[in-house]
Amino acid sequence: MTKKCFDATKYLKIQKKKIKQRIGMFDKLYLEFGGKLIDDQHAARTLPGFLPDLKIRLLQEFKDDAEVILCINASAIEKSKIRADHMISYETEVLRLIEFLRSKGIFVSSVVITLYDGQKKAKDFAKRLEDYNVKTYFHTFTKGYPTDVDTIVSDEGYGANPYIETSRKLVVVSAPGPCSGKLATSLSQLYHESKRGVNAGYAKFETFPVWALPLKHPVNIAYEAATADLNDKNMIDYFHLEKYGIPAVNYNRDLETFPVLKEILRRITGKDVYFSPTDMGVNVIGECITDDKAVQKAAKDEIVRRYYRALTDLKKGAVGPEVPERIKLLMNELGISEKDRIVATKAAEKRKNSGNLPSACLNIGKKYIVGRKTGYLSPISATMLNALKTLNKIPDEVDLISPTVLEPILEIKNKTSNFKESYLKLGEVLIALSICGATNPVVKKILDNLDKLSGAEFHSTHMISDDELVILSNLGINATSGTEIDIN
């Protein structure tokens, strides 16, 4: 397991203080939340000790004074855009966020469908939101954006959007993914608040890049790898350096748009509040790293994982060849390669030694457990069963699931499916295990301990199916697959 090197308790304490200070500057603060609001696995992997739900815990500290606005791009709804980590659509993610936030006592006041241009699916989604008792607003493209500030900051620009009714001092603006219109929504609200005589402010909560770390620190480079499809580039915030003489890291899109954003904020508020993109941020992650060497190692591991995932996305046609090429260049900068992912090299060795059968490897602690495709099992299923036996000290020759159980499952699967498979995938095997667990206390104990696999590393020599990938992710296993490795 990866060594913890981030102090989550300290982070909650000083992050809460930082946000409170920013709230104190205004009558109302619109806080744009970048990245994933829940299940932030990238941060958890890159900063071991950072909890995937840490942002939610932070929001719970403000739940009596905060409300959440969720933004979703109408085009994302129309195209049924998918969140790759959970293989669910953006609109389903919005519904999931509403339910989850409410379960934590956090008030979701509204959903804004941005860049609306009459899309039917967007209108249908608004009707679905009625069942959740969440008010829905439609915002269209802002006239004049991004260069005609006179039009942008007018009733023809931001004023053309309906005002979103808010009632609390802190308004968190979040979204199911990037390019959802969080900034435009926040600035539109600032315009309306100004016309109502409210001293409203804007701030940005971004986890990455970490402004207080060096430009070429692996944590910041891992952010570039994670956004290689967007071609984000980390840069020194030259506005911050010029104003304060302090180097700070930001990224190209924020630096490119800052002059226009600064002018928009000046027109709305009548003064300069921020002098750099870094000024707008409130994140204090850099102060909570407890072991920089260990964090660097974790970040390098994440970059290699991102490379493998980009190669898989290339095979699926989800990205172009430039995406893995960008990540490969980042790896070269740090002197790391795909061979540094040991589970990948061991999976390749298993495949070579198994007559070229698809194989996989799972690593947890100091144990590396391999498996291959069998007569009944996918390489993912076989490796996971081997891992469960190893971790629970069950002899290899013991079958956790009898072939007499597997055979009828496979038979009925092929009778009811158009796509014939000669093996059972991970979800099907886990169901079979749960059936066996009803009468076998050993198997039940194994299933009760599945959470011990969280944090394990996994690699398959063949592409992992989407449904198996989601299960591995839900178990907290960091899975990759794909490209062949020269193990000679």
The verdict on 191 and 67 lying in the same domain is yes
Per-residue pLDDT, averaged over 31-36, amounts to 90
For residue 208, is it within any domain? yes
> pLDDT digit string (tens) for 210-237?
999 999 999 999 999 999 998 999 999 9
> pLDDT digit string (tens) for 136-192?
999 999 999 988 999 999 999 999 999 999 999 999 999 998 889 999 999 999 999
Domain end point (choices 288, 320, 350): 288
Q: The CATH number of the domain where 14 resides is what?
A: 3.10.630.10
> pLDDT digit string (tens) for 373-429?
988 888 999 999 999 999 888 888 888 887 777 777 777 776 666 655 667 889 988
The verdict on 233 and 95 lying in the same domain is yes
Counted residue by residue, the chain has a size of: 488
The verdict on 345 and 258 lying in the same domain is no
Q: Indicate whether 116 pLDDT > 50.
A: yes
Across the chain, mean pLDDT equals: 92
- Which residue bears the tokens 């890049």? 209
The verdict on 278 and 345 lying in the same domain is no
For residue 382, is it within any domain? yes
Banded model confidence at residue 38, pLDDT cuts 50, 70, 90:
confident
The verdict on 224 and 353 lying in the same domain is no
The verdict on 345 and 457 lying in the same domain is yes
pLDDT at 337: 96
Domain hosting residue 249, numbered range: 8-288
Give CB contacts under 8 A, 24+ apart, made by 84-89.
84/313, 84/318, 85/39, 85/41, 85/473, 86/39, 86/470, 86/473, 87/466, 87/467, 87/469, 87/470
> pLDDT digit string (tens) for 275-293?
999 999 999 999 999 999 9
Nearest residue to 177 (alpha-carbon basis) of 116, 88, 266? 88
- Look at phi and psi of residue 281 and say left if phi exceeds 0, alpha if psi is from -120 to 50, else beta: beta
Q: Indicate whether 32 pLDDT > 70.
A: yes
The verdict on 200 and 134 lying in the same domain is yes
The verdict on 274 and 357 lying in the same domain is no
The verdict on 284 and 392 lying in the same domain is no
Per-residue pLDDT, averaged over 100-124, amounts to 96
Q: The CATH number of the domain where 394 resides is what?
A: 3.40.140.40
For residue 331, is it within any domain? no
For residue 408, is it within any domain? yes
The verdict on 113 and 234 lying in the same domain is yes
Domain end point (choices 288, 307, 330): 288
Q: Number of folded domains in the chain?
A: 2
The verdict on 66 and 176 lying in the same domain is yes
Kindly list the distances between the CA atom of residue 168 and the CA atoms of 2, 30, 109, 162, 193, in Å, as whole numbers in the listed order: 40, 10, 10, 18, 13
Domain end point (choices 288, 311, 329): 288
Q: What is the pTM of this model?
A: 0.91
For residue 308, is it within any domain? no
The verdict on 103 and 244 lying in the same domain is yes
pLDDT at 487: 45
